[in-house]
Structure formats: C-alpha cells, structure tokens
Structure 1
Amino acid sequence: MTSDTCGRQHCRISDQETNGKNSTASSNDFSDPIYKEIAITNGCINRMTRDELRSKLAEFKLETRGVKDVLKKRLKNYYKKQKLMQKEPINGDSYYDYICVVDFEATCEEGNPPEFIHEIIEFPIVLLNTHTLEIEDTFQQYVKPEINPKLSNFCINLTGITQDIVDKADTFPQVLQNVIEWMRQRELGTKYSYSMLTDGSWDMSKFLNIQCRISRIKYPSFAKKWINIRKSYGNFYKVPRNQTKLTIMLEKLGMNYDGRPHSGLDDSKNIARIAIRMLQDGCELRVNERMHAGQLMTVSSSVPLEGAPAPQMPRYRN
C-alpha cells in the first residue's frame, strides 16, 4: 500500500475518521470522540513504513529527517495538534517566551580523579525564542580558575580552551555578574518568561553548585530549576537513557553536530537545535529538575508551568 493510499484511508485529518473497528482501544476508554480519533490515527501511523512516514510528513511540509520512531512521534503530534485545535484553540501565551541553553566547560584531568575539584572555565548561554523557534542571541565568557589555575593538557585538548585564554579571563563572580546583566538587558523574568535548559543534570547540580561554593557565593535563584533535555528527549521519543547523549540525539533526529565538540558555546548551540526540533515535533519542554537545599531533585510533570525568576546576583556566603 502506498503512503498516499494509507493517508487517504486512515490518516487524513477529517471528521469522517474510521469508526474504531480497527482500533485496539475499546470505545469505553475514550469518552471524548476526538481522543478516540487520535488513537485510531496513531494505530495507522504505527503501521506505516519509514518511506510512508516521510512521504506523509513531506505532504504537510514537516521535517522528514530522523529515525523511524522520531518520524512516527512527529506525525502523531501533528495530527493530535490539528485535532485538538478543532476542539479548542491552544493558548500560546502559557509557555515560556525564551529558553536559555547552558553547557559549562570545567577544568578536568584525564580519568577525573575523585578528589579533583572542577571549576567552570567557560560560561555560554544560547537564547532560544520559543515563538520564532530560532536562536536569537548568544553569550560567552571564559572564566579564570582559582584552585587549579593551570589547565591540564587533557583539558586543553578536550575543550580547545588554552592557558592564555583563562589567564586573561575574569573570575567566576565577575562573569556571573556579566551573565546576570546580559539576561536583565533582555528582560528575562520581567517582560519575558524563560527557563534554563541543560544537557543532563551535571551543569547545575555539580559544576555550578561546586563553583558557587569555591567562589563563596550563594547558588543563584534563576538556576534553581531547569529542563534536563536528556530526560525530556528520552520520555518524549520513548528511548532509553543511554541513547540520550548529545551526538546520539542529533543523529536520531537526522542532524550532524555543528562546530567543535566540547566547546561550551558550540555544544549549547547544538543542544538548542535539538530543543527546537523537539518543540517543532510537539514536545512541551518543561522544567523537570531542581536544586533544593544543595540536593538534586526531580520535578513532576504535573507541576504548573512556571518561568524562572528575574536574575539577581547572589549574596556572598559568610
């Protein structure tokens, strides 16, 4: 059966959907006929080949790159959105206006001995506009480490950050002040709602947490909650956690890494590209992790969507 035939018979967006005979769900499972139609359509999409999926996506002018599971999820979300829009228009004002993607680079040694203290040496931010789904701006500053001011050769080779770069850089409190000023100028947390986003838990729960203790400043309030895109990706596309590394996520979505791996700014831009694709595919990226009393905690998806506070410079510790 061609994709066009499959599309005409089962997967078209219309009010004359199939009557449910080929649906595995009983009619009692879906009191709302819209959701019953969505379930039937999902069943059809599950039976489509990769070529049929790509053909159908192309018909709707949607992205056709990605592995089969990604394509299925993309098409299902498109149909679901169309159906729910018929029911009631989606309020576009409830989501974050911006997402700030952060991916720190930190001092490191080969094998990272357990006693080694990581210090942030690059602080990048990529500002993603959730309305235009474009990268609107970027921030990048290098940071001078204080405990281990001399970078290891392993660290230099990994990150591309040289000794000369960090020697000339500001210390972390000054860089954080510059970050906050940059965010304030863009009216984040005042005029526009926003959320932080990272690739995993470590950036906030480990690197930023340790760095604030080293610099004797309190943990900044704007970074206490964030979107861990690895968790979001795994849950949305239904893939195991070991398939949520940055390069694997890009590959599964049909994209190549752009730039130099382990450059904080380039990593952040690539993470933003994944976030854009997920938003296009119908994923509502939500805060799913937070820091509480110095500990990493999970945030339930049932918690109301709430933006991060306006950034303020944290007080120094006693």
Structure 2
Amino acid sequence: MLAAWDMGSPLNTCWTWITNLRSLSVLGLASSLLAVLLCVRLYRRLAKPSRGVDLQKPIGTLTQRNVLWSSGLGSTPFNLFYKIPGFLASGISAAMRYPTHPRRFPKKKDDSGDAAEPPKPTKQTVEAFLVLDIEGTCNRDTGFDYPNEIIEFPVCLMRWKDKREDGLASELEVVDEFRTFVRPTWRPTLSEFCTELTGITQAQVDSAPLFPEMLAQLHQFLMKNELLDEHGQSLVRFCWCSDGPFDVRDFVVKQCFISKVRVPSWLQGDILDVRTLVLKHLTLLHPPDKSKTKKQNSKRVGVFSAAAVLRTFVVFMGLVTQPWASATRRTMNIAAQLKALDLSEFAGREHSGIDDARNITRVLAALARKGTPLQPNTPIQPHRRWPWMGPRRGEILEENLII
C-alpha cells in the first residue's frame, strides 16, 4: 500500500493535481469575495446624495445626483462592473464643467493672493528673512554625500512692510539682493552636466571670487542692510530661508571645510525650511474630522477608500491637477509650491540660483499673507562631517568618496 504512494506513482500525481486545484479554487473564491466587497463598498459611496462638486471631499460628494444617474451607473451594484468607466468619464468631466471650489479653479493667478481673502496679520517675531538657493558642482551620478563646491551664492533680503507695534504683520517684500558666482578649487572644471543643469559657465566661475572672499562680500552686504555689525554680531533678528535644508546644512558646511574656514556665527543656528512650511500649511488646510475617531479618519482618507482611489486616478491621469493631493517632500519642489498656493508659474530658469531664490520669496510672501507664522524650523550642525573629510581642514580623502 505504501509503495502505491511512491513519488512517481499515478495516485500521488493525481493527489497533487487535486491539491493544486483546491488551492486555486480557494484563492479564486477569496479574490472574488474581495472584489465583490470592494465593489459594494464603492457603490454605497457613489450612491450617496451630493452637495456639489468638490474634489477635496470624499467620492460620495464628487458628483451631483443628476450627474451620477445620467452617467448610467444604475441602482444596483451589478451595473458597476460594466458602467464604471462611463461614470469616471462623466464624473470627471462634470467636475471640470461645474467647479464650485474657488481655490481649485481660480479665475486669475497672481502673487497678490485671492481678492476675496484679505491678508491675515499674524504675530511675527523675525524681522528679516535671507532667502538663498545655492548652486554647487555636481556630476550626473553624484549623490548627496559628494563634496560639492559652491559656484553660485544668491540671497534675497525680505522685510515686513506693514509690521505694527504689537508685532502683527502680513506683507513681506524684497528690499535688496546679493549674488555672486564662486570659483571652485578642488575640482575647478565644471562638468557638462553641471553647466546644463545650472546654466553656469566655466568662464563665469573662472573670473569669480574664492569662497572666503565671497564671505567677506556677503558680510558687507549684511552690514549695509543693518543686519550685522562689523564684528558679525546680529543687530536684528533674522533667519536664513531655503527650499529644503541642503543649502546651509550641506553646501555651506562642506565648502567651509574645503576652503579651510570656520562657519561664520551668522550662518549658524536654525533656518527656515520653506518646503516643510508649505507642506505643514497644506496639511492644516485639510485637518482630520474631530467628530470621528482616528480609525474612521484613516478609513476616510486611507489608501483603499473609494475617495482616495478616485482622487489618485484623477491626479495620475492628469485630468485634474491637485498639487497637494499626493504631495511629498521629494515632489513638492518650488514650482509645485507655487502651484499649490495658487500663484503664477515659476518665473525664470529652474536651478538658476537667483531665479530659484526669487521664486522662494514669492512662496514666503504668500504664506505670510495667509497668516502663517514664519519661524526657523530646521537645525543646522556646523561641525557635521562626511566620510571624505580628512583629519585636517581642506583635506579630501578621495578613496572615501561615495559616488
């Protein structure tokens, strides 16, 4: 009897087939049940009455009742299988024909803000903002740990023009600019990729000052605008602002090591990461419903909720643009920040330091008008080290480079 169950016996082969068929049947049944449950859940959300077309609300309120039924969805969940493409098409087109959310479809985008929404003065403790966007040497395959050398150092100085005695303010303006190219010393020849990315030519950096000379020029600029005294002491409270922490945290600290100078005291301290501030602002615009539990809120905006599925589909297909719908730190670049705040498009050339800095000032001014407190939010480590740094300042261990 045991011999009949040998590995090559017909009985064993037959039993293997039966086991495989049973596994496939169980898997198919589970998949079918899951599909039915998802379709029923989607149908229930779709069949709810609507209060208007609003892409920021769950899918149950995405289209009006007449649009829903005119799309041919029907009154039973079984029609969902073959009529959902028509519903998506009609629902999306209806959302584009009958927009009711003024921030999603503004009549005119400019930097003056929504005319119906006046500026919101807020308590502001920082007097001046130094917006910068540094450009550095790079190759196509270099990572964040590469010893980049600064080749462009632009700064836009912003001050309040309506600050009251009680500290309330809402209007920022650019009052002065500083810009210079910087000559690299460790790798003095720019790569073709670097020139294509930044628009900076070899001739521009060859005739530029070295980094220590640039620091002296920048100090003079800050003294002229009464931010520092001749000894480098602050006269008013100011902070550095950039798109992300990299400009001061990485570029300045690396360059000071390469140039054998200490990070100036007025370049240390916390900075204002504008990208982080924009993401926080967008999150506060769409807070969780306090009347619901944490579990209910997670279901309402979860990955598998019908609302999230449709919003993801609409944004992915490019039919309706929602810059904040799937915003992450990586995707929320300067152009996306302008779009999310309903400002006009990026002005100038992206990855040009001065153009990037000028567009960041527009973002910062828009946040100020909306009543956002502008405070430093990112610490800087002036003594940070990378594996390529040798024991002495200026010494680069090329064998430790991570490319």
TM-score, length of structure 2 as denominator length: 0.52
Identity, % of aligned pairs? Answer: 29
**Alpha-carbon contact 1:96-1:130 (below 8 Å) kept:** no
After superposition, the Cα gap between the structure-2 partners of 1:53 and 1:178, relative to the gap in structure 1 and judged at 3 Å, is same
* 1:267 corresponds to 2:267: no
1:237 and 2:267 are equivalent in the alignment: no
What is aligned with 1:138? 177
* Matched residue type, 2:101: R
Residue 114 of structure 1: how far off its partner (Å): 6.9
- 2:265: which partner in 1? 221
Query: More displaced, 110-119 or 260-269?
Result: 110-119
Counterpart selection for 1:50 from 91, 96, 101: 101
* Change beyond 3 A, Cα 1:53–1:167: closer
Task: Tell me the distance in 2 between the aligned counterparts of 1:156 and 1:295.
Answer: 28
Contact 1:243 1:249 (8 Å CA) reproduced: no
1:249 corresponds to which of 337, 349, 365: 337
Measure the CA separation in 2 of the matches of 1:128 and 1:266: 15
Tell me how far 1:113 sits from its aligned partner. 5.4
Letter in 1 for 2:155: I
Distance in 1 (alpha carbons) for counterparts of 2:199 and 2:105: 39
Q: Which amino acid aligns with 1:51?
A: P
Distance 1:53 1:163 in 2: 43
Write the distance in 1 (CA, Å) between the matches of 2:368 and 2:134.
23
The one-character-per-residue Cα deviations of 1:192-214 (angstroms, maximum 9, x if unpaired) are: 32111011011111111100000
> Which sits farther off after the overlay, 166-175 or 247-256?
247-256
Contact 1:124/1:138 (8 A) holds in 2: yes
Residue of structure 2 aligned with 1:105, choices 115, 135, 139: 135
Structure 1 CA distance for aligned equivalents of residues 382 and 262 of structure 2 = 11
**1:236 deviation in Å?**
1.5
Say if 1:114 and 1:123 are closer, same or farther in 2 by CA, change over 3 A. closer
Task: For 1:196 and 1:317, locate their aligned partners in 2 and report how far apart those are by CA, in whole Å.
Answer: 25
2:126–2:374 Cα contact (<8 Å) kept: no
Which residue number corresponds to residue 209 of structure 2? 170
Relative to structure 1, the CA distance from residue 54 to residue 280 in structure 2 (aligned partners, 3 Å threshold; closer, same or farther) is farther
Give the deviation of 1:191 after TM superposition: 4.3
Where structure 1 has 5 or more consecutive residues not aligned to the other structure, the ranges are: 3-47, 66-73, 83-89, 297-315
Which one has the largest radius of gyration?
2
Once residues 103 and 51 of structure 1 are traced to their aligned partners in structure 2, the CA distance between those partners, rounded to angstroms, is 32
Write out aligned runs for 1:1-318 (5 A).
Answer: 49-51=100-102, 63-64=113-114, 95-112=125-142, 116-131=146-161, 132-189=171-228, 190-224=234-268, 225-238=270-283, 240-254=328-342, 255-292=344-381, 294-295=383-384
Q: Secondary structure at the match of 1:267?
A: helix
For 1:295 and 1:230, the matched residues in 2 are separated by: 22
Alpha-carbon displacement from aligned partner over 1:227-272 (angstroms, at most 9, x marks no partner): 0111111112115434421111011122211111111111000001
C-alpha separation between the residues in 2 aligned to 1:291 and 1:51? 39
Aligned length: 230
Q: Given residue 238 of structure 2, which amino acid in structure 1 is its aligned partner?
A: Y
Residue segments in structure 2 that go unaligned for 5+ positions in a row: 1-50, 53-98, 162-170, 229-233, 284-323, 386-391, 395-403
